[in-house]
Amino acid sequence: MEEIHPFYSDLMNILYDRDHYKIALGQMNTARHLIDGIAREYVRLMKYDDSLYRYPSTRTLILCGFPNVGKSSFINNVIRADVEVQPYAFTINRLYVGHLDYHFLRWQVIDTPGILDQPLEDRNTIEMQAVTALAHLKSSVLFMMDVSEQCDRTIEEQLHLFESIRPLFANKPVLIGLNKVDIRHRGELPAEKAALLYQLEKEGIPIVETFTLTQEGVMSFRDRACDELLAQRVEAKIQAKKITNIEDSVLNIWILTMRRPKRK
């Protein structure tokens, strides 16, 4: 106001009251800075809208397995998405993150690129995205298998991949989905292949038959994976609370001991 021509300054004082106008300008300036800050934050979030930037620790389901076993078809069913499905490998070349609601809780579902059964140092950038997600995110792991073997991988090869990346599943709920059961049910497998799956069940790994085209078994597979992770998180909180209570008890005993007056 002090920098404009005296005519305009006096006219502003007559029409609007100079002091009130200064207050209004100050409020507008504050609002401008707030809007600029919000705009910068949203631009940053838009940059990472399909990544794990905001939710690295939320309730998560991770799909993994060989290419063309039905991972993308599964995620299309559970989150009503439109992930591209093609008959060739590496249709998905990055992590795809979708969201669903289960038991009034928000979950994220991550469709990872297909992983090939090869040493870690030989895996490409696309595969390493899946490996990184499996290694670092607290999640339920849904390992998808093509029981019909139309993905050009036998049951034995798919289970060998499972065993090779199994160390990444440490301390995570793990479930196996046998997909494409419309072509071949588990009961139709040769004895040696069925025995391999039975051995995993003996080790406590649930195996669920699914068919993504008709959604057969899809929702029960999803629900079981969610329930497994919820149960694990509840147990972890209970254990953490027990440890805290024990520490508090020890601290209280120590304080009482220190405060106890010495006998003369």
Structural element, H or E, at residue 179: strand 174-179
Using CB atoms within 10 A of its CB, is residue 85 exposed (0-12), middle (13-18) or buried (19+)?
middle
As a whole number of angstroms, the distance between CA 140 and CA 133 comes to 11
In this structure, how many other beta carbons lie within 10 angstroms of the beta carbon of residue 188? 12
Annotated domain spans of the chain: 6-47, 60-236
For the 60-236 domain, the top CATH level (class) is alpha beta
State the first-to-last Cα distance of the chain, in angstroms, to the nearest integer.
Answer: 80
Can you spell out the DSSP letters for 16-85? H-HHHHHHHHHHHHHHHHHHHHHHHHHHHHHHTTTSSSS-SSS-EEEEE-STTSSHHHHHHHHH------
pTM tops 0.75: no
Show pLDDT as tens, one digit a residue, over the chain (264 residues): 667 777 777 777 777 777 888 888 889 999 999 999 888 887 776 655 555 444 556 788 999 988 888 888 888 888 865 665 555 455 566 778 888 888 888 888 888 877 876 777 777 777 788 888 888 888 899 999 999 988 888 999 999 999 988 998 888 999 999 998 888 888 888 999 999 999 999 999 999 998 877 788 889 999 999 999 999 888 888 887 766 666 556 556 655 565 555 555
